[in-house]
Amino acid sequence: MRRTLHIGGLELESPVMLAPMAGYTDLPFRLIVRSFGGLGLAFTEMLSPPSVMRGREKRVKFLVATSPQDKPLGWQIYGKDPALLADAARWLADRGAPLIDVNMGCPQKKISGKGAGAGLLRKPDLAVEIARRVVEAVKVPVTVKIRLGWDNAQTAVDLAKEFEKLGVAAITVHGRTRVQKFEGKSDWEAIGNVRAAVDKVPVIANGDVVSVESARDVFRITGCAGIMLGRQPIKEPWIIRDIARDLNGEPPLPPPDARQRFELMMRHFQMCSDMYGEKQTVLHFRKWVPQYLKGRSVARPMLAALQQVKDAAELKARLMEVMM
Ligand SMILES: Cc1cc2nc3c(=O)[nH]c(=O)nc-3n(C[C@H](O)[C@H](O)[C@H](O)COP(=O)(O)O)c2cc1C
């Protein structure tokens, strides 16, 4: 039987989601992951209310770019002003956003230090107020993405109960505290405690799911209704498909071979080029190339040369040399 997930009125084709990731989960990458199938829901990277509402400006137009194939898409907003966040949510929902997610987990100093993102975990009353105002502002499902707490895991348990009462449609929990940033391991048992604290609202487990086996483990340990993957799909955009197939009892598919990986990169490059322009994409791809090459033994001088390519033709030629 097919495993699906309902978030509010939204039926997702699978309970496996692509995490919001600033600098990575733009439209081209979301389409790359979607092209494999099995993806329940993807998210924009976190957007500030002014960025959302001035989306046509050059500086932010790529952050808010989407397309008819890019569905369903959760729009993630961040900030600490309940009224502004409610306005941004309303603005998005009025323009067709099917789901709004509020970021309460970003550990970056420039965000959490100013009281937004994970900074809200130090002010649970404000976090609850924000969730309430956003839920009241729109008819579409509102989800929140939190960490376990600022420095201890009780915060997530307490917050989840409040979020459930006020009608949040799903709660994603990254199993680390703000203090941990990305250190240590995502604590799936602690995520399970959050899950056990609420009955009505689906909890989505996040952090360190990297394979079909770890996906099985995280479902078993947390009892969560869904899972969300961030970093692994950057290296293996097909991993979400593999996990969704496993959940449905379908046999595994072989990972793409060298030629297919090369073609995937070229397709990704082309989509970025269509959006950002070739010159910008050559720079943008400096972060993607090492990701796609992870696990392959590539000589250092070649890696360095790949970071200095000047145009698409040179990138293609060098990648062919490395990958084929
Ligand atoms: C480069 C990068 C950017 C991220 N940007 C966001 C973001 O915009 N919003 C958010 O909620 N989380 C963001 N995260 C956190 C991820 O969504 C996710 O919670 C985290 O990476 C743990 O999941 P993983 O172990 O599957 O990567 C980011 C993570 C990374 C590595």
Would you call 106 a catalytic residue per the annotation?
A: yes
Both 181 and 284 in one domain: the answer is: no
* CA 1 – ligand 1 centroid, Å: 30
Residue 253 lies in a domain: no
Edge-to-edge order in the sheet of strand 16-18: 16-18, 226-229, 203-206, 170-174, 142-147, 99-104, 73-77, 42-43
Please provide the DSSP assignment of 67-78 as one string: -TTS-SEEEEE-
Q: Tell which one of 102, 172, 222, 231 to mutate to probe ligand 1, the residue whose CB is within 8 A of the most ligand atoms.
A: 231
Residue 266 lies in a domain: yes
Residue 217 lies in a domain: yes
* Ligand 1 atom showing the smallest separation from residue 19 Cα: 17
* CA 230 – ligand 1 centroid, Å: 6
* CA 124 – ligand 1 centroid, Å: 21
Residue 155 lies in a domain: yes
* Ligand 1 atom showing the smallest separation from residue 103 Cα: 11
Residue for token digits 């062919």? 320
Both 230 and 142 in one domain: the answer is: yes
Q: Which of 184, 217, 247 is the last residue of a domain?
A: 247
The closest residue, in CA terms, to atom 18 on ligand 1 is 230
Q: What is the pLDDT of residue 66?
A: 96
For 227, the enclosing helix (H) or strand (E) is strand 226-229
> Helix (H, G, I), strand (E, B), or coil: what is residue 234?
helix
Verify whether ligand 1 is closer than 6 Å to residue 298 (CB atom).
Answer: no
Verify whether ligand 1 is closer than 6 Å to residue 206 (CB atom).
Answer: yes
pLDDT one-digit tens code per residue, 177-201: 999 999 999 999 999 999 999 999 9
CATH code (residue 216): 3.20.20.70
Residue 180 lies in a domain: yes
CATH code (residue 279): 1.10.1200
Both 179 and 283 in one domain: the answer is: no
Q: Which of 247, 276, 297 is the last residue of a domain?
A: 247
Please provide the DSSP assignment of 18-60 as one string: EPP-TTT-SHHHHHHHHHHS---BEEPPPB-HHHHHTTTSHHH
pLDDT one-digit tens code per residue, 73-108: 999 999 999 999 999 999 999 999 999 999 999 999
Q: Which of 247, 280, 313 is the last residue of a domain?
A: 247
Is the dihedral angle over the CA atoms 82, 83, 85, 90 positive or is it negative? positive
Both 113 and 60 in one domain: the answer is: yes
Q: What is the pLDDT of residue 2?
A: 87
* CA 21 – ligand 1 centroid, Å: 5
What residues make up the domain containing 282?
A: 258-323
Looking at 32, 106, 170, 204, which residue is catalytic? 106
Verify whether ligand 1 is closer than 6 Å to residue 203 (CB atom).
Answer: no
CA distance 283 to 263: 19
Q: Is the pLDDT of residue 52 over 90?
A: no
Report the domain count for the chain: 2
Query: Which two three-digit tokens encode residue 309?
Result: 């390519």
The closest residue, in CA terms, to atom 5 on ligand 1 is 21
pLDDT band at residue 56 under the 50/70/90 scheme: low
Both 210 and 281 in one domain: the answer is: no
For 90, the enclosing helix (H) or strand (E) is helix 82-94
* CA 301 – ligand 1 centroid, Å: 30
pLDDT band at residue 295 under the 50/70/90 scheme: confident
Both 17 and 126 in one domain: the answer is: yes
Residue 51 lies in a domain: yes
Residue 252 lies in a domain: no
Residue 116 lies in a domain: yes
The closest residue, in CA terms, to atom 2 on ligand 1 is 21
pLDDT one-digit tens code per residue, 34-47: 999 999 999 999 99
Both 194 and 295 in one domain: the answer is: no
